Amino acid sequence: SLLAFFYWSKQRSNKKISHQNVALQRLVEEKEWLLKEVHHRVKNNLHTVVSLLESQSAFLRDDALAAVLNSQNRVYTMSLIHQKLYKSNNSTTLNMATYLPELVHYLQESYDVRNRIKFNCRVQDLQLNGSMAVPVGLIVNEAVTNSIKYAFAEAKSAEITITLLVDENKDARLCIADNGCGIQKVAIQSHHDSLGLSLMKGLCEDIGGQFRIDNNNGTRVMICFPFEVPVLVSALPPEPSHS
């Protein structure tokens, strides 16, 4: 009968769709596995570079040692991103609320300033993809490193604050501020930037952001950049966390 034919056609169509869904799910799982494998291998390769730089630093002194340490921290900043993407259920985006505090903790240990400088991390629970997270992480690394090395020549209550939040225009605002001696006006206006400052400006351009640095009771680095991927945003914690 006509009714039986329609029923048979519907069942056949549903079965075909079901098989297609299973095939698509397998394809997604395979691509997810391959992506995780890429992150795993990149992370391992970067860890090898970090280890090589660490071994080399044992034979260096003064400026050469400082240059190798800076390079080591930059490589670790990228390695940590791939490590977290590999371990995450979502291998395409990174939660900055867990990544940035861990990066700051690493820098504390690397420069042995845990008992000398107080760190405040106030980061919203938002997701960035790897192509955005790497420049943001490197900018934080450069700004925090500069504050650790140059901001606190005088004995005082040293403090560095890292903030990442979303404003009312859905732009991300990153700020790294210290209460140290502050950057000199001539350095801000100079056309010959240091390597760290040039790197931060270049990374900011890579993510379509705006860069600003000023002296506000200490050096303050500010980056404003638009999101290129959907983000998950939660309210800021009521009080900054202290590392």
Residue 172, both tokens:
């991300």
Whether the predicted pLDDT of 225 surpasses 50 = yes
pTM: 0.76
Q: 5 vs 81, 120, 189, CA distance in Å?
A: 56, 69, 80
Mean pLDDT of the 187-211 span = 83
Judge residue 109's burial from the number of C-beta atoms within 10 Å of its C-beta, 0-12 exposed, 13-18 middle, 19 or more buried.
exposed
Token pair, residue 87, equals 């371990």
Secondary structure of residue 87 in the 3-state scheme: helix
Higher pLDDT, 203 or 3: 203
Q: What is the mean pLDDT of residues 146-152?
A: 91
Q: Does the pLDDT of residue 5 top 80, yes or no?
A: no
Are residues 198 and 210 in contact, defined by beta-carbon separation less than 8 angstroms? no
Which pLDDT value is given to residue 155? 62
> Rg of the chain over CA atoms, in angstroms?
23
Q: What contacts 49, CB < 8 A, 6 or more positions away?
A: 75
Per-residue pLDDT at 191: 52
d(CA 80, CA 110): 14
Helix (H) or strand (E) holding 213: strand 210-215
Percentage of residues of the chain with pLDDT beyond 90: 42
Distance of CA 26 to the CA centre of its chain: 31
Please choose, from the candidates 138, 140, 123, 131, the residue with its C-alpha nearest in 3D space to the C-alpha of residue 93: 131
pLDDT mean over 117-138:
93
Candidate CATH numbers 1.10.760.10, 3.40.50.300, 3.30.565.10, 3.50.30.60; the one for domain 92-243: 3.30.565.10
Give pLDDT, residue 30: 66
Dist CA 50 CA 113 (whole Å): 20
Question: Is the CB of residue 129 less than 8 Å from the CB of residue 88?
Answer: no
Tell me the C-alpha distance between 191 and 186, whole Å.
10
Q: Is the pLDDT of residue 240 over 70?
A: no
Q: What is the C-alpha separation between 57 and 71, in angstroms, rounded? A: 11
Q: ∠192-194-196 over CA atoms, to 5°?
A: 145
Q: Dump pLDDT digits (tens) for 10-54.
A: 778 888 888 777 777 777 666 666 667 777 787 788 888 888 888
How does pLDDT run across 76-102, given as a tens digit for each residue? 999 998 888 877 777 778 999 999 999
pLDDT of residue 234: 43
DSSP state of 131: H
Q: Indicate whether 166 pLDDT > 70.
A: yes
Least confident of 54-58, 176-180, 207-211: 54-58
Q: Which of 52-61, 92-101, 207-216 has the lowest mean pLDDT?
A: 52-61
Mean pLDDT of 112-117: 91
The per-residue pLDDT for 202 is 94
Q: Residue 231: its pLDDT value, please?
A: 42
Q: What pLDDT, on a 0 to 100 scale, did the predictor assign at position 33?
A: 63
Give the angle 126-84-230 at the CA atoms, nearest 5°: 30
